[in-house]
Each structure stands twice: as structure tokens, then as C-alpha cells.
Amino acid sequence: MSDADAAIPPLVVDFEVPVDAEHAFEVWTSRAALWWPPGHTVSGRPEAIVFEPRRGGRIYERDGQDGQHTWGEILHWEPPVRITFLWHLFFARSEATRVELTFTPTAGGTVVRLVQTGWEALGDAGAARRERTVGGWATVTAAYGSRCSTPTEESA
């Protein structure tokens, strides 16, 4: 059995933010340009990061020169509970993985769970790509958590 035939475990990131689920969902899907780390974008300075709010909607970055860079495609749009999407930021769509974010209310805010799957479809590159992606999501979710934790006019 080759490494590509072995199951690659999902990448799972769980954390809590001190806001209700509606706000947590909205900050992720409608205000990403305010907090998404520039080093984790195609242009490095996106004018907008758009999650088109529907099944089949695109996730894309708009740069300051009328360019659009597609990151993924919405599979499920269930505010404020869940969003699932194909994800191929920095890769061809044929190399997309699947990301599901859930927003679960708690007494102190919302638990956000990110689960990324589909690594096996990448063949021998799947396990290494998963390991590199762990650090990327750590950076992205830390920036998101900070935005949710900081009451400002933009995140209110």
C-alpha cells in the first residue's frame, strides 16, 4: 500500500470566540478582508475577500487592479450554523480540498470548528500538503479570533 492509498486524517481546528454565532459567521464570511492575513492571499493586499452567500457561490479575492483570484466554491451555506466549501487557494481547482466550518453557541460565545478533508485526492502530495496547511490555518484562525475578540466599529 502506498502513502497515497492510506487514509489521511482530516485537519481539525477548534477554538472559541467571545461573540454569538451570528456575529462569528458574519465576521468570517462578510468581513474577511478586515482580518485575513495578507500573506495568505494571492495579491498580498486584497481590496475585498468575497464569500458569495449561496450554494455555488464563489470565494474570491479582489485585488486593487480589477483582478479576481478564486479561492473556492460554496457547497453549503447555512448561516449562522455552517458553511462548507471547496478550497483551492494557491492551487488549481482540480486540487481542491473540502473545508467545513461550524459555529456552535456556548455560554461564553461560539465554538468554531474547521475541518478540512480530501487530502487523499492529491495523491502522494496529500499528506505533506496537509501538514503545511496546519500552520496556515493557525495563522488565519488566530487573526480571525483577534478580530472577533476586539470590539471595534468595523467588527460590531
| CB-CB contact of 150 with 141 (8 Å) | no
42: left (phi over 0), alpha (psi -120 to 50) or beta: alpha
Instruction: Find the domain containing 107 and state its range.
Output: 9-149
Residue at 71 is within a domain: yes
Nearest to 85 by CA among 100, 70, 104, 68: 100
Which parts of the chain are beta strand (E)? 11-17, 48-51, 58-62, 68-78, 82-87, 97-106, 109-117
Total structural domains in the chain? 1
pLDDT above 50 (res 145): yes
Residue at 134 is within a domain: yes
Separation between Cα atoms, residue 82 and residue 119, nearest integer Å: 21
Quick: pLDDT tens for 79-113: 999 999 999 999 999 999 999 999 999 999 999 99
C-alpha cell at 34: 478586515
pLDDT at position 153, please?
A: 47
Burial environment of residue 147 by CB neighbours within 10 A (0 to 12, 13 to 18, 19 or more): buried
| CB-CB contact of 48 with 61 (8 Å) | yes
pLDDT at position 155, please?
A: 43
pTM higher than 0.75: yes
Residue at 87 is within a domain: yes
Residue at 34 is within a domain: yes
Residue at 4 is within a domain: no
pLDDT above 50 (res 4): no
Torsion, CA 96, CA 102, CA 103, CA 108, rounded to 10: -110
C-alpha cell at 110: 461560539
Residue at 1 is within a domain: no
| CB-CB contact of 126 with 119 (8 Å) | yes
Looking up residue 20, the CATH number of its domain turns out to be 3.30.530.20
